[in-house]
Every structure is written in structure tokens, then in C-alpha cells.
Chain A
């Protein structure tokens, strides 16, 4: 599903992240990512989504090489990405608009999107939150809303960047239960091994010195 070959990436300020990264992911795998701060986990996810572009190397997603903005536009319709910081992800006035944004981009009609909002809120225990102002939500509620805004697009693969960060016990369980019971393919970055295991990952990897090794 995703094949990355000899990827080289460094930030514009010169900070190198990957010199020659190779990575393969096949559909149906629940992959956990583990690794030190600054080892490039978030960078890898952003590269897959085409929000960053490598200096050299190949990114193949859904059996097609992805280079241009247009290539990645298709990827973004099929892969969902939960940002590490929900504050960076939420920009609509209300929870309802936030969750409907993705489905509407996929071409759903307003009524269908409304139905999706309802369903998604129910799954994540956000019933009654639809008309809340996203900006006034608590940290945990923001993260759940961000997750809702991603899963409402029914992606084939979920990329999750520390989805349980600063969540209380109940909300952590909500998120992990959702991943365990409702998703087949995801790549989850987390510093908590327990959370990865609870979410039902079948493989755990570690990013180290620009290489991905089994943990």
C-alpha cells in the first residue's frame, strides 16, 4: 500500500531527518511507531500525506508513484491523518462543520454529511457536542473532534500522531476502543507501549538514525 525507497529529507533550515529511508506498509496491518522525540515520526507521516516533499527518493502509495500535488490530492482522499496537535487541525467554527468538512470535500451531499456527523459523534461519544464552538473545547475534546473530523471521511488507512496525548482515562479508552474495534489499517505513533498494545497493533517499529527497525 505504501512503499518508500531511498528517501532523503531535510528541513529548509538544514536539519537533516532522513538520509536514506526505506519503509513498506501493507494494507490490513496495524502498525505501531515508537521512537525518541525528534526521530522523524511526524515528518514521515507528513511526507506520506504530501504535506512535505522529499529532496530525493520514491514514495509509492496505492501502487502509484506520488510526486506532484495532484498525486497527493488523491492520497488525501483515501488516507486520514490525525495531527499531533489538535489546535493545528481544527479551524471551523463548530464541531458539526468541522466533522462535515471532509465528507463535503469528498463530494457528499449536505444531508449525507449531516448523517455522517451524527454517526461519528455517536461512535466517539461526542453526542450533544455538534454545536459547540471548537475553539472553546477542552484539550481532550479537541483531540476527539479532530479524530472525528478524520474518521468521518472513512479513510482506507489512518495515520495517527500520538492520538492519546493529554487524554484522560475515559477518553483514552474511547479512542483505543475505536481503533481496536472499528479499524483494520492504521499507523499509530505513540510513546506509550501499553496504548499501542491495547489498540491491537500487530507490529511495532522504532525509528532510529533515519532507519526503521522492529522494536
Chain B
């Protein structure tokens, strides 16, 4: 299982200091998330697409993730136009779609995709170990940092364990059905996964202790903030301010 399909690369975005990327992204995301009109998320979406272009991500992997996000949004489109009260747009039987409902659905679609794309472009391009390291630099508690890192690191191990055990279940001719025995089998499987992951963590901890671990991860490559990082941070903040100005501008009156 590969959880970091975007982390490797040689683009400009990949080469930036992760701390700067986090600092640049946060105000941008907050601005988009709290905006109340269409301009802000529309502009942010353009910025997101631009960032994705700059980071030269694997296109097919990106599309498959966009697909998942927008599948959820599709559900919103089925409900929101009919659920929000307001001026009638059209009616289908007892259901009445409103302009306000469509407006909200559209704004959510734009916001979600803008935030999603910019996050993938900036955070997805940082390997997780570096991301944890950066968060720690930015003031995240040491224990939380470690917890975050290990949770992530062991998802793949759990996934492997699950597949191995499920292979064992299948290899012995198990066919799932709607029976107590099926539920019991799944229950055992999950129980065993829990027990194994606990034991695994103990062993891992012992192995780390034996190699001199005392609560901190030694880091081989330290972060360096260069000119281009300051440039990028300034650019990101400018974009955010620019978008914020639009939010307050005369264009709002048009909607």
C-alpha cells in the first residue's frame, strides 16, 4: 500500500521548506473556508489548480482522489437544492429546488475542491516524516508528533496484517454469508489484528529502546529556509490577501 503517491518529485513545490508550506497554506485555507460568496472559492480554486500544476503531480492518481471527494459532493447536489428554503428555481412534484440551495451546493463544491487541491499540492508533496518534523518545529507537542508519525507508519503494517490474515481465511475455503459464523469469524479477525498490533508496538518499542531511543527522533536532514521559501511564503500570503480583498469588493453586490 502506497500512502504517499505525491511525496516524491523534483518540482519547485517539492523543494520548498515544509514549514513554509504549512504557514502559507493555513491562512489560505481558513480564508476559503469562511468565505460567504462565490468569488473567493472560485479564485482559490484557480490558485489550487495553479499550485497543482507547479508541483507536477501524477495526474491519474490525482484524478482518482478528486473522484472520491466529488462523489461525496454529488450527494450534496442531490439534497441541498431541495433542502434550503428560498426563491424557487424549478419544482419536481412535491420537491422544490431553490436558487439559494443551488448557490450553497456550488459554493461547497468550489471550496472543497480548492482546499483539496491546494492541500495535496502543498502538504501531499511532503513525506510524512518531514511533515511531522515540520509540525514539531511549528510548536506541536512532542508526544503528539510521535503519535501522529507512528499512527501513520503503522497503517501500512495493519493493512498488511489484515491482508495476510484474510488470505488465511480465504485459503481455508471460507465464504462469507449472513450467518453468525461469518460475524464471529470477522470478529476474531479484528480481535486478532488488535492483539497483534499491540504486540507489534511493544516489540517495536523494545527494538527502539535497544538502539538508544529516549523519546526523540534523530533527524538526518535539517530544514533550511532559503530565498525561494521566503518568496513562496510572500506569494501565498499575497494571494490570500488578494482573495480576501475580492471577498469584500464590489463584485459581491452582483450576486
Contacts and interface: CB of A to CB of B under 8 A. Distances in A.
Interface residues of A, number: 29
Given A91-B192, A92-B188, A135-B195, A76 B172 contact: yes
Interface stretch (A26-34, A98-106, A185-193): A98-106
Interface in A32-54: 46, 49-51
B140 interface: no
Contacts of B2: 12-13
A153 B173 contact: yes
Main secondary structure of the interface of B (DSSP, over half): helix
Interface string B34-66: 000000000000000000000000000000000
B38 to A, nearest CB: 41
Interface string B176-200: 0000010001001101100110000
Contact of A91 (B175, B181, B188): B188
B174 interface: yes
Which bucket holds chain B's interface residue count? 20 to 34
Given A88-B164, A88-B165, A81 B192 contact: no
A9 interface: no
A93 interface: yes
Contacts of B161: 88
Contacts of A77: 173
Nearest to A86: B168
Given A87-B196, A88-B168, A91-B168, A102 B173 contact: yes
Contacts of A65: none
A104 B189 contact: no
Nearest to A159: B171
Interface in A79-97: 81, 83, 85, 87-93, 97
Nearest to A74: B173
B188 A153 contact: no
Interface core residue of A77, A89, A150 (most chain B CB under 10 Å): A89
A1 interface: no
B158 interface: no
A73 interface: yes
A92 B168 CA distance: 11
A50 B161 CA distance: 18
A172 B192 CA distance: 27
A49 B167 CA distance: 9
Given A87-B196, A91-B169, A101 B164 contact: no
A164 interface: no
B170 interface: yes
A77 B170 CA distance: 10
Contacts of B195: 135
Interface string B151-166: 0000000000100110
A13 B3 CA distance: 12
Interface in A44-78: 46, 49-51, 73, 76-77
A59 to B, nearest CB: 15
Contacts of A210: none
A73 B171 CA distance: 8
A73 B175 CA distance: 8
Interface string A132-165: 0001000000000000011001000000000000
B192 A102 contact: no
A87 B164 CA distance: 9
Interface of B: 2, 161, 164-165, 167-175, 181, 185, 188-189, 191-192, 195-196
14 contacts: A12-B2, A46-B167, A49-B167, A73-B175, A76-B170, A76-B172, A81-B171, A88-B164, A88-B167, A88-B168, A93-B188, A101-B174, A102-B172, A105-B173
Given A73-B173, A73-B175, 13 more contacts: A12-B2, A51-B167, A81-B171, A83-B164, A83-B168, A85-B164, A87-B196, A89-B165, A90-B168, A91-B169, A97-B188, A101-B174, A105-B175
